Amino acid sequence: MDIIVSSDGTTKFRHKLVDGLMIESVVIPLRDGKICLCLSSQAGCSLRCVFCVTGKEGLFRDLTHDEIILQLEAMWDHIKPKTPTSIVFMGMGEPLLNYDNVIKAIRTINDRKRYNFAEHKITVSTAGVADRIVDFGNDCNAKLAISLNSADDKRRSDLMPINRKHDIEAIISECKKFPVSRRRLLMFEYIMFKGVNDSTKDADALAELLKDIPSLVNLIPFNEHPYSDLCRSDPDVVLMFKKRLMSKGIKTFIRESRGQDIGAACGMLSP
């Protein structure tokens, strides 16, 4: 296992699996001493989102339950005596396409005799596997984040080919059936690409789409890398976008980018 530390303290773990495949997981130090652990669910990814390094070579295979837990164990030991504040499945792969192993891993993380970590502090991020959204809501108490990135089907399909199979209407219709609670709102992630999805019109379309869903939006300025021509939106544009959504009643946050210098930031993990 290799450990690579970023100038901002983010720490990337590269694990070699029994068959030689490499997977990555990340310890992300947050404000106020909080720590987030980011897990991978697959080696590679079949969904090939155009902005993501992981999907470039396609899917090698699903990770087993034990391989998911192995990542957690390494990071948990590393941060001792501290414990994580949150755990996210936002690393390599599409968690809802390795559904059984991810649900089993969530149960292990929650198990009193193992990690005893509350399910509502775990977040699973999906590119929008619509037919698993409600199952997920019923099978566990973890949070779900939908990587949306556009409220327009044509543009979303260009960014995320999965949209041709599970379009925005299908995703939103399943989200409306998701069992939300005060502790468990749906999250929508919106990576911001300069001149692609960051106009006031885009913000208005997003607000209109989400108006009936108890949710919050995380805006993520794109982490530029050599495998993509897409560019990061300017900070003032990101701020304008946030204000526009907030003015329409959508709770919105801007996610700080961490670990960019070691390829550990969102969309940069590679097999």
Per-residue DSSP letter, 121: G
Q: Rule CB under 6 A: say whether 267 interacts with ligand SF4.
A: yes
Residues 63-92 binding ligand SF4 (CB under 6 A) are: 92
The least CB distance from residue 227 to ligand SF4, in Å, is 11
Q: Rule CB under 6 A: say whether 48 interacts with ligand SF4.
A: yes
Catalytic, 24? Answer yes
Q: Which of 27, 37, 43, 45 binds ligand SF4 (CB under 6 A)?
A: 45
Q: From CA 206, how far away is CA 6, in angstroms rounded?
A: 34
Q: Rule CB under 6 A: say whether 25 interacts with ligand SF4.
A: no
Catalytic, 266? Answer yes
Per-residue DSSP letter, 93: S
What is the layout of strands, in order, in the sheet containing 143-147? 2-5, 11-16, 22-29, 35-38, 86-89, 122-126, 143-147, 186-192, 215-221, 251-254
Among 41-49, 169-177, 245-253, 257-265, which window interacts with ligand SF4 (CB under 6 A)? 41-49
The least CB distance from residue 46 to ligand SF4, in Å, is 7
Cα–Cα separations (whole angstroms), residue 269 to 26, 83, 85, 98, 244: 9, 23, 22, 18, 31
The answer to whether the CB of 231 falls within 8 A of the CB of 266 is: no
Nearer to ligand SF4, 94 or 202 (CB): 94
The candidate with the shortest Cα–Cα distance to 188, out of 227, 229, 241, 240, is 241
Nearer to ligand SF4, 6 or 54 (CB): 54
Q: Rule CB under 6 A: say whether 187 interacts with ligand SF4.
A: no
The least CB distance from residue 27 to ligand SF4, in Å, is 19
Alpha helices of 160-234 — where are they, by DSSP H?
168-175, 200-210
Q: Rule CB under 6 A: say whether 49 interacts with ligand SF4.
A: yes
Binding site residues, ligand SF4, CB under 6 A: 45, 47-49, 52, 54-55, 92-94, 127, 267
Residues designated as active site: 24, 266
